[in-house]
Amino acid sequence: MTEIQPMVSIIIPHWNGIDVLSECLDSLKKSSYNSFEIIVSDNASSDGSQAWIKENHPDVILLENDKNYGYAGGCNLGADIAKGEFLLFLNNDTVQDFDWIQPLVERMKKNPSIAALQPKILNYYKRNIFDYAGGAGGHIDLFCFPFARGRIFLEQEEDSGQYDFAKKCFWASGTAMMVRKKIFFAAGKFEEIFFAHMEEIDLCWRLQAMGHEVWAEPASVVYHKNAVSLPMHSHRKYYLNHRNSLLMLFGNYSIPVAFYVGFIRLMLEFVALGYSIIKMDWNHVTGILRALGWILIHPITVIKKRSRFTQVRKVKDKIIMNGMLKTSVVLAHYLGGKKTYFDIESKDS
């Protein structure tokens, strides 16, 4: 007798790029798992994506949003109509191994403490290289700079099996991220003010504050075309990364920790600003300045975010911070020459 598998709702936020989405959907339909639905949350695409989906993939559930809600808003809207026990948020610029869903579901079933997890994420173009967006599980330092097993800033490792074991991590990548639906809604879903970038880190922080765990499952593999939505060195990408990281820091830590860690983080921002000026990287310069300006003139937004976080918090900062790098990954990498997760881990031990 065939075992009845839990329903998985695969939610793909989408804005333009029919060719990219086409390859993703074709890959998904080869998946061996026997109980899933595909929801495309279209953020008002202007390239005819909606008509193309209806004609070529009538079995896909199409949600036609009235504007571009970004990754966070698009995923939230998709989750609202999802029927699955598990939500699987997926970038449209991915392809997947045919058996990628089963290991994620099995890990969830084995460990009820896990609220979210990600597969191993490799680069689409160089498939022996860990992808920039998530690698083999995301981590973060005390100052809210993220890194991953397999990727420290722009240093991407070759996959030689060095991370082929399931492990707790701090954040699961939104590139491909499975979450228990009930817990996702209890946590308040993605913070839509983030729009794109780091909303998954913020969610995973909240999940841990609620007493849950986040893991990476390398038996599941996804390949990602990094920076298709936003070019790597664009002003908007720099701006969102810096702003959202600062928003997490001031919105998630308790007030004493936020002031202490935030002061050091602001010093690091000015160091990054000076370095970018020396390099004449004006996209980075303007991105940092815009991010700092946004935080300065939106105190009410930060306070409201703090209130939402406090409402779900059950775990104190001290416990959550045990899962963070105790030193600066920026200094460890750029001054200390640490290039891999193992280098960073040994520094912190």
* pLDDT in the model for residue 326: 93
pLDDT, mean of residues 312-331: 95
* pLDDT in the model for residue 228: 63
* pTM for this predicted structure: 0.95
* pLDDT in the model for residue 38: 98
For 72-99, write each residue's pLDDT tens digit: 999 999 999 999 999 999 999 999 999 9
Q: Are strands 61-64 and 167-168 parallel, antiparallel or unpaired?
A: unpaired
pLDDT higher than 70, residue 347: no
In whole numbers, what is the pLDDT of the chain averaged over residues?
Answer: 95
Nearest C-alpha neighbor of 227 from the set 196, 190, 189: 196
Structural domains of the chain, ranges and CATH numbers in brackets: 8-224 (3.90.550.10), 235-315 (no CATH)
* pLDDT in the model for residue 226: 76
For 146-204, write each residue's pLDDT tens digit: 999 999 988 999 999 999 999 999 999 999 999 999 999 999 999 999 998 899 999 99
In Å, how far from its chain's centre is CA 169? 12
For 95-119, write each residue's pLDDT tens digit: 999 999 999 999 999 999 999 999 9
For 213-263, write each residue's pLDDT tens digit: 999 999 999 999 976 666 667 999 999 999 999 999 999 999 999 999 999
Element (H, E) at 204: helix 199-209
Nearest C-alpha neighbor of 120 from the set 106, 137, 132: 137
Long-range contacts of 149-154 (CB under 8 A, 24+ apart): 149/216, 149/341, 150/341, 152/329, 152/333, 152/338, 152/339, 152/340, 152/341, 152/343, 152/344, 153/329, 153/333, 153/334
